[in-house]
Chain A
């Protein structure tokens, strides 16, 4: 089955700096890669996703890049703000795995004012 590894497990950045979270996946048939943000006491919220026919996608301060050859994808947050502090999960899915989401282990991001 699919295996997703996520690094780092914790990330502390100064407000205004950039944050980068990296994920690798094992199943070359995976073709959908969402990122979720989970604030304390809340459910995961989708913040951005990318499909395998696209190499990069941006939404304001958030961008995701995908390297299918290397089987890794990354989340980039620019101009970080205190409200970006949360746990971020990457995930992968594909038809070969029954379209089930496989999550990475999560990254706890702390933005220091």
Chain B
């Protein structure tokens, strides 16, 4: 079983709503990630936090806003999304980003539908 916990598992939101996805890990990892996955496609990297600081933003639109309150928690704030943003959003973590070969562990994901 994954040790990366994501809530909620399913979310339906309107284009004018504000909602948040939450992620938690208790493995002592210092790198946390948000990925987006569309049907029949591999995960696409959105954001990387390293030691609670944003280190990578893959040119993600500002309607997605990440937040890392502490080393165990990662949030993704959603506002004014479009229907094409409907996807599976995956949180992941790894020991750190300093060394290649650090295993990345994924959560079960949050299924987002924008109506």
In the complex, chain B residues whose CB is within 8 Å of the CB of A100: 45, 48, 56
Contacts of B2 in A (CB 8 A): 43, 45
Size of the chain A interface, CB-CB below 8 angstroms: 23
**Which residues of B are found within 8 Å of A106, using beta-carbon distances?**
40-42
Q: Which of A13-21, A67-75, A88-96 interfaces with chain B?
A: A88-96
Alpha-carbon gap, A90 to B100, bound state (A): 16
Given contacts A100-B45, A104-B42, contact A43 B103 (CB under 8 A): no
CB-CB nearest in chain A for B102: A99
Interface size on B, residues (CB 8 A): 25
Given the contacts A32-B101, A34-B103, A34-B104, A43 and B42 also touching, CB distance less than 8 Å: no
Cross-chain contact A42 with B104 (CB below 8 angstroms): no
Pair A95/B41 contact, Cβ less than 8 Å: no
In the complex, what distance in Å separates the CA atom of A49 from the CA atom of B102?
10
User: By the criterion CB–CB under 8 Å, are A98 and B56 in contact?
Assistant: yes
B105 within 8 Å of A (CB atoms): yes
Query: A81 in the interface, Cβ–Cβ < 8 Å?
Result: no
Q: If the complex has contacts A98-B56, A99-B97, A100-B56, are A46 and B103 also in contact, measured as CB distance less than 8 A?
A: yes
Minimal Cβ-Cβ distance residue in B for A97: B100
Q: What chain B residues lie within 8 Å of A42 (beta carbons)?
A: 108-109
* Minimum C-beta distance from A96 to chain B (A): 9
For this complex, 24 residue pairs linking A to B, each with C-beta atoms less than 8 Å apart, are A31-B100, A34-B104, A42-B108, A43-B2, A43-B4, A43-B6, A43-B90, A43-B106, A43-B108, A43-B109, A44-B43, A45-B106, A46-B103, A49-B101, A94-B100, A95-B100, A99-B97, A99-B99, A99-B100, A100-B45, A103-B43, A104-B42, A106-B41, A106-B42
**Residues in chain A within 8 A of chain B (CB atoms):** 31-32, 34, 36, 42-46, 49, 51, 89, 93-95, 98-101, 103-106
